Structure 1
Amino acid sequence: MTPAVSEHLDPGELDRLHLWWRAANFLSAGQIYLMDNPLLREPLRPEHIKPRLLGHWGTTPGLNFVYAHLNRAIRLRDLAMMYVIGPGHGGPGLVAAAWLEGTYSEIYPDVAQDTEGLKRLVTQFSFPGGIPSHVAPETPGSIHEGGELGYSLSHAFGAVFDNPDLIVPCIIGDGEAETGPLATSWHSNKFLNPATDGAVLPILHLNGYKIANPAVLARIPDEELLNMLRGFGYEPYLVAGDEPAPMHHLFAATLDRCLDEIAAIQRRARREQSAQRPRWPMIVLRTPKGWTGPDTVDGKHVAGTWRAHQVPIKDPWHNPEHLWLLESWMRSYEPGELFEASGAPVRSIRANNPAGNRRMSASPHANGGHLLRALRLPDFRDYALEVEHPGATTGEATRELGRFLRDVLRLSENERNFRIFAPDENNSNRLGAVLEATSRAWTAEILPGDDSLAGDGRVMEVLSEHTCQGWLEGYLLTGRHGFYSCYEAFAHIVDSMVNQHAKWLKVAGQLAWRQPIASMNYLLTSHVWRQDHNGFSHQDPGFIDHVVNKKAEVVRVYLPPDANTLLSVVDHCLRSRDYINVVVAGKQPAPQYLDMESAVVHCTKGIGIWDWASSDGDGDPDVVMGCAGDVPTMETLAAVDLLLREFPDLRVRVVNVVDLMRLQDEREHPHGLSDAEFDSLFTRDRPVIFNYHGYPWLIHRLTYRRHNHENMHVRGYKEEGTTTTPFDMCVLNQIDRFNLAIDVIDRVPRLGPRAAYAREALKTKLIEHRHYVSTHGEDMPEIREWVWPGR
């Protein structure tokens, strides 16, 4: 529905709004086209135009329109707001807004509010050595990268969780609304607690087209669209038109009504303890694409069509008519009325700006490191599994971690500062202990028998990896801490989101004014080697490969072999800043190798010789057995056990890797080993059999510069899998103990003739295994009951 309105704004308010909007539109067009003469104080000439015209005009005027109105509301109501825009290519609009508000010049003093600063402002946009064409970390007030199509609404909700005073207007593009992540994130309102969280005001911006095709939601009847949004649980208000003055009145009235409703919802929840899920307001804004831009170019309609999407006038450099059109368009904003002789915005425009941190471009929430409080963490050593000697204890690593995370949640200092995110897998991932400290967040209907649901819960579960990722990113970027657990194979669903977050961290780390934020912490469990029951579709360790492609200063990968090393690693990750930490650990009962003191030392080094599993003493080994990952480590140790039973004089060195990036050259990664350190572990000339959790070629990629790379033989996942037994998964991919032992025999010549008989016996064992599992449906007793002998 649309509120009835005639003249909602007084003449002074209308004038301020319209002037501000005209100035933002003028500066936006200027950024796309100009590198000189920014205020058109002389006739426009080709040399004033950029040689490469880049940027997106079509969505920008609508974004500027909303921004102007939000500023009015902030001033009149003293609101804390942060602006999130899904059409991230509306970058010139947000840069223009930050400059008009003065924030841009405060952060970048050389882009001052004067004529010279304006020249720098327009020239730098989409220009070598300048700034991107989209919203980016360089843009003050932003947490949402221009490439993040589909994630705006989940970012907005993540930002307001545990931020009771914050309102995030979230502009959802009509093209963006067609994406799967956005479609699911509408349901975030079922997880928002009006008593303790802030509010999101979704604004669905319909301007009719994407790059070339019509937008789906812009081409369905209003009744169908509004019913869909009501079905998502919102109360939608429609604002549509193209005449500026009526649209200003209508949008201002609608925005005021929505803000009144938000305030009433929060008041009821906070004062009257209302537990009923509210119907939150939202706005559907229909405006022409390229609003206020050129109507026609070369005899073809532009404004209101797909042709306005990017650069509406293509060739002002060489086409005199295009140059005239561009100058006419930009002069239609009457820049002489917008800027003083110095180049600063006129007083009426400045009067529409909020003050200080109330400016959306200066919101501390959009530079969350300013608000970040360190987590208080219990001593992870208190959660240690007792390990009298390696392999003597069996435990479930992630279950022990769940006890630690439970107590992180229990500490009062962490209340409203830490949440756990899981796509409907928290208990499956053996983290169920956290529900002893809090519930799952849920404001939809609760039925008798439901498990741990409450409006104030801090475990965020929805069966959408995209939405969990988006919530967590919004939560971290606004200054809080989080932890994400996921089935390993399905972490790939958020590959693109991880890309964008990594790029954000990389660029933000180069900006002195961007403060460090808490790291993105992933626990990948239910991993490839224990997805034997779910089968081939659930068997994929490739998320590690994807993450390792990102910049070295951002990425960390850990493969703790047991519970105590997992506890040590996660404690480190929760304390870290500005990283993407990927931790891979199993949830099934497994051998435990290191007591807590040994685990801390091993994790601190990141890589090391396990002397208790080795037989080379102080001399050179015959073979180095490397391993990374819990199941590959177990199979490596079992192979060593087999070999030393058969060849007691064999000199074996076992090297376990927790921090995967230790394998890389120190010149390539901050955690990388020097060549001397690497050689001291793996030698310069002995065979290395490396048993790895994931795809084997990643180890080759990380070590290709090493002296002994030609002697490194890596075993890992080879895309062989099915529904089978745990050990059979290892055999299918040849990371099992029998194949490893055969590999050693084949590569250590001094074992001589006796090796032939041992090799035949191992081949026989593989045949016995195949027959046994196909007959009995489980692994052989000697496999199931194997323990490290504790030599």
Structure 2
Amino acid sequence: MEDVKTTVCEEKGPITDELLTKMNAYWRAANYLSAGQLYLLENPLLKKPLTMDMIKKKIVGHWGTVPGQNFVYVHLNRAIKRYDLDMILLSGPGHGGNFYVANTYLEGSYSEIYPNISEDEEGMQKLFKQFSFPGGVPSHCAPETPGSINEGGELGYSIAHAFGAVFDNPDLIAAVTVGDGEAETGPLATSWQSNKFLNPKTDGAVLPILHLNGYKIANPTILSRISHEELVKYFEGMGWKPYFVEGSDPMDMHRKMAEAMDSVIEEIKAIQKHARETGDTTRPVWPMIVLRTPKGWTGPDYVNGDKVEDYWRAHQVPVMMDHDDHLEILTKWLKSYHAEELFDENGKLIPELKALAPTGNARIGANPHGNGGLLLRDLRLPDFRKYAFDVTAPGEKDGQDMTELGKFVRDIIKLNKESRNFRVFGPDETNSNRLNAVFDETNRVWNADTLDIDDALNADGRVMDSMLSEHMCEGWLEGYLLTGRHGFFASYEAFIRIIDSMVAQHAKWLKVCNQLPWREEIASLNLLLSSNVWQQDHNGFTHQDPGFMDHIANKKADVVRLYLPPDANCLLSTFDHCVRSRNYVNVIVASKHPRPQWLTMEQAVKHCTQGISIWDWASNDQGQEPDIIFACAGETPTLEALAAVSILNKELPEVKIRFINVVDLFKLQPASEHPHGLSHAEYDMLFTTDKPVIFNFHGYPTLIHELTYRRHNNRLMHVRGYQEEGTITTPFDMRVQNNIDRFHLVQDALKYLPQLGNRGAYLYQRMSDKLVEHKQYIHEVGLDLPEVADWKWEK
């Protein structure tokens, strides 16, 4: 115990050769454990000569990035202890998760979470075998990895996640190892601009460590092949102060890195001290580190006569074990770390090295911010019913759904101002999406230069919409949620597709977390889509794509939810539900334009709680069998379906119509496929088993068919939705071109009601006439027919 205390004092003092020698030994231990995870099934301490039966039959994983990341981890450990830091680490290079596993194992946090992977020879053997092995752990920094909040499978999001983590976390430093391959992705290249949104007074700090090891899978990296001067200008031009640590000699590199780490930490602390003591939040120049090391550092130099270390061949597995002499090469490589000097006879890290790691929650693998549900606190929420739109009769008044929601969001911000755990995210679209009311209470976050004429910009706002990048908004929000806070992302429906992959990765993260009891639940990722496909009178074809719903519908049913509220009161009820939820990806598709309002708040709560229901005021089949079902999901399809029913009621009152609206789209799936799904009995009660259904849908028709194909009446389901038609035109003409308008729907109903015989012929003809009249009118006047634009519901 005395040795530990001596070491701690030593670490808080000057950088000595003795300390650097110990750090180098710790680094060797991490490298040994990382290499062992790639290859070994048994004999973890090499107490016996290696034989082929001790080697994994299929070697899968990455080595090239690992030694450099181990190097970073060792130096972060020293910084945490010397400066008593609250620090997490995000690994950006992608694969190479064996480095994170190795270091959390050395510090003890891994074995605390997974006691079966004990800190002894037996546990080390299990640690090695499980890596990238059936029934084991992935080769990247996955949810299974303690301390990680950045999924390593897809590149580009590490810095965005890091900034999201430190917003409103004034004491947190998020260190980020950025791979030089990752640095070539669009999101990562944009992420460097995130320093314009950091408030040094109330936010934490991000410490990027750009790891230049020269190569990607099979090519050199751009940033490693430009001059030093150009690299300096590149980062200085984006508002960073780069510190360079370059070389390959381990002891020389340890000294350089330790000195650079002290400089950047002290600089970060000085920036924060100035801002917090003076109130000056002027954007500082934040420090970063550029670390240049050989790829596959300390690994085999040549294999089969081919260059490996410091070349692209080190990227994945340096020695494939498919040649007779490879066993000798592997043995020499593993023995070069001298594990017998690092671990005792029982396989435990020796005490003088163990003492280099932080303890308790200061360890990177145990930091609560790396398991954000531990820190999550409920939002203070006003009663959404107070924001009800006054509906005296269905469709009598027009209202703007998103405008009404903005008032609710404004007051959520107000109630949570002190706790600072709620933010709004969106790429320059808060006003466009009609959430303007939030600016009554807060501003946009902005820490670059401002002008007197600028509107609602300052460093302390709660709205993150001053950057036109869906990637950044999504990445920031994910980092914010993963570290225990709340928020939502409002976006144009068509351009949410830009982050399809990011949302998919987050959904996968949640899916795995649901299987890990130690991962606490976090606030749901709430995506609010407006400026949707059905109102594109000045944007046109480019702004039409409702396919994000299809993308989400394919994800694991216990994670994803899809909501299409038809009016303002339903939107308020749905949004309240979503911001209270945990561990979901919630997608809400809403309208921002003036539209008829259908349900009172009391009706909306009942409707949204059920997720699907018959609107009795729009139906006339009470007490008898319906002839036809009109169903709808989405604001515009609901409007047109009601208009079609109104025409049929007037022209053919004997036709018995049941009207069903769907808010929760997954209600259509069987309960066996989605937890929100209706049982077959419940579904048949609503839709019958033998009556035709016209389903007017917001998105692509195939999605409804996919959700209902197991239902008894699936062959009677006739879906109308977006068909990739329409450009610059009127709102109603968009509906006509895609056959979701009232006139086409009436014609469809007449086709599916054979009992009418020829009685529907004249009505069918009138609908055709109306479609011709509509086209002529808009081409002459430029507006929709008055009877369409001014239509009101009549039963």
TM over 0.5: yes
Report the equivalent of 1:487.
Answer: 492
Shift of 1:300: 1.2
Query: 1:214-229 to 2 correspondence within 5 Å?
Result: 214-229=220-235
Query: Aligned partners of 1:647, 1:16: CA distance in 2, in Å?
Result: 89
Report the equivalent of 2:583.
Answer: 578
Q: Does 1:562 align with 2:567?
A: yes
1:642 counterpart (644, 647, 661): 647
2:338 counterpart (325, 328, 334): 334
Deviations 1:348-377 (A, max 9, x none): 220110010000010100000000000010
2:451 counterpart (441, 444, 447): 447
- The unaligned stretches of length 5 or more in structure 1 are 1-6
Shift of 1:16: 2.0
1:198 counterpart (200, 204, 210): 204
Deviations 1:557-579 (A, max 9, x none): 00000000000000000000000
Deviations 1:690-744 (A, max 9, x none): 0000000000000000000000000000011201000000000000000000000
Query: Aligned partners of 2:417, 2:351: CA distance in 1, in Å?
Result: 45
Q: Does 1:31 align with 2:37?
A: yes
Query: Aligned partners of 2:277, 2:749: CA distance in 1, in Å?
Result: 71
Deviations 1:55-101 (A, max 9, x none): 10000000000100010111111100000010121200000001001
Q: Does 1:322 align with 2:326?
A: yes
CA RMSD of aligned residues (A): 0.9
Query: Aligned partners of 2:319, 2:779: CA distance in 1, in Å?
Result: 70
Q: Does 1:458 align with 2:489?
A: no
Report the equivalent of 2:3.
Answer: none
Query: Aligned partners of 1:519, 1:687: CA distance in 2, in Å?
Result: 37
Deviations 1:204-258 (A, max 9, x none): 1000000001100000001001100000000011110000011000010011000
Shift of 1:29: 0.3
Report the equivalent of 1:476.
Answer: 481
Kept after mapping to 1: 8 A contact 2:625/2:656? yes
Give 2:327's aligned amino acid: L
Shift of 1:389: 1.0
Query: Aligned partners of 1:20, 1:406: CA distance in 2, in Å?
Result: 51
Query: Aligned partners of 2:416, 2:721: CA distance in 1, in Å?
Result: 44
Q: Does 1:616 align with 2:624?
A: no
Report the equivalent of 1:269.
Answer: 275
Query: 1:129-278 to 2 correspondence within 5 Å?
Result: 129-278=135-284
Query: Aligned partners of 1:400, 1:414: CA distance in 2, in Å?
Result: 24
Give 2:235's aligned amino acid: L
Q: Does 1:388 align with 2:392?
A: yes
Deviations 1:165-187 (A, max 9, x none): 00011111100000000111111
Query: Aligned partners of 2:418, 2:561: CA distance in 1, in Å?
Result: 24
Report the equivalent of 1:773.
Answer: 778
Query: Aligned partners of 1:118, 1:616: CA distance in 2, in Å?
Result: 70
Q: Does 1:75 align with 2:91?
A: no
Query: Aligned partners of 2:765, 2:102: CA distance in 1, in Å?
Result: 75
SS of 2:223's partner is helix
Kept after mapping to 1: 8 A contact 2:21/2:251? no
Identity of aligned residues (%): 61
Give 2:340's aligned amino acid: G
Query: Aligned partners of 1:373, 1:533: CA distance in 2, in Å?
Result: 43
Shift of 1:413: 6.2
Kept after mapping to 2: 8 A contact 1:57/1:309? yes
Query: 1:302-701 to 2 correspondence within 5 Å?
Result: 302-315=308-321, 318-412=322-416, 415-461=419-465, 462-701=467-706
Give 1:598's aligned amino acid: Q
Give 2:478's aligned amino acid: E
Give 2:234's aligned amino acid: M
Give 2:308's aligned amino acid: V
SS of 1:586's partner is coil
Shift of 1:623: 0.4
For these two proteins, the number of residue pairs brought into alignment is 782
Kept after mapping to 1: 8 A contact 2:200/2:281? no
Query: Aligned partners of 2:256, 2:425: CA distance in 1, in Å?
Result: 39
Report the equivalent of 2:8.
Answer: none
Kept after mapping to 1: 8 A contact 2:35/2:334? yes
Query: Aligned partners of 1:156, 1:679: CA distance in 2, in Å?
Result: 49
SS of 1:705's partner is coil
Query: Aligned partners of 1:345, 1:384: CA distance in 2, in Å?
Result: 63
Give 1:45's aligned amino acid: T
Deviations 1:485-530 (A, max 9, x none): 0000000000110111000000011000000000000100000001
Query: Aligned partners of 1:259, 1:163: CA distance in 2, in Å?
Result: 16
Give the TM-score normalised by the residue count of structure 1.
0.98
Give 1:78's aligned amino acid: D
Shift of 1:414: 6.1
Shift of 1:319: 2.4
Deviations 1:445-465 (A, max 9, x none): 010110100111110011000
Give 2:685's aligned amino acid: S
Query: Aligned partners of 1:275, 1:714: CA distance in 2, in Å?
Result: 55
Shift of 1:532: 2.8
Query: Aligned partners of 1:349, 1:108: CA distance in 2, in Å?
Result: 22
Query: Aligned partners of 2:93, 2:281: CA distance in 1, in Å?
Result: 34
SS of 1:218's partner is coil
Shift of 1:753: 1.9
1:280 counterpart (276, 279, 286): 286
Shift of 1:393: 1.4
Report the equivalent of 1:4.
Answer: none
Kept after mapping to 1: 8 A contact 2:379/2:416? no
Report the equivalent of 1:714.
Answer: 719
Query: Aligned partners of 2:590, 2:748: CA distance in 1, in Å?
Result: 26
Shift of 1:412: 4.0
Query: Aligned partners of 1:708, 1:771: CA distance in 2, in Å?
Result: 39
SS of 1:722's partner is coil
Report the equivalent of 2:5.
Answer: none
Shift of 1:140: 0.3
Give 1:41's aligned amino acid: K
- The unaligned stretches of length 5 or more in structure 2 are 1-12
Give 1:534's aligned amino acid: N
Shift of 1:199: 0.2
Give 1:585's aligned amino acid: A
Shift of 1:152: 0.3
Give 1:228's aligned amino acid: Y
Query: Aligned partners of 1:500, 1:16: CA distance in 2, in Å?
Result: 38
Give the TM-score normalised by the residue count of structure 2.
0.98
SS of 2:474's partner is helix
Give 2:385's aligned amino acid: R
Query: Aligned partners of 2:453, 2:425: CA distance in 1, in Å?
Result: 22
SS of 2:480's partner is helix
Kept after mapping to 2: 8 A contact 1:207/1:304? yes
Query: 1:52-63 to 2 correspondence within 5 Å?
Result: 52-63=58-69
How has the CA–CA distance of structure 1 residues 628 and 765 changed in structure 2, closer, same or farther, with 3 Å as cutoff? same
Report the equivalent of 2:124.
Answer: 118
Kept after mapping to 1: 8 A contact 2:113/2:518? yes
SS of 1:136's partner is coil
Shift of 1:12: 2.5
Query: Aligned partners of 2:25, 2:281: CA distance in 1, in Å?
Result: 43
SS of 1:216's partner is coil
Kept after mapping to 1: 8 A contact 2:569/2:601? yes
Query: Aligned partners of 1:491, 1:275: CA distance in 2, in Å?
Result: 32
Moved beyond 3 Å, runs of 4+: 412-415
SS of 2:325's partner is helix
SS of 1:31's partner is helix
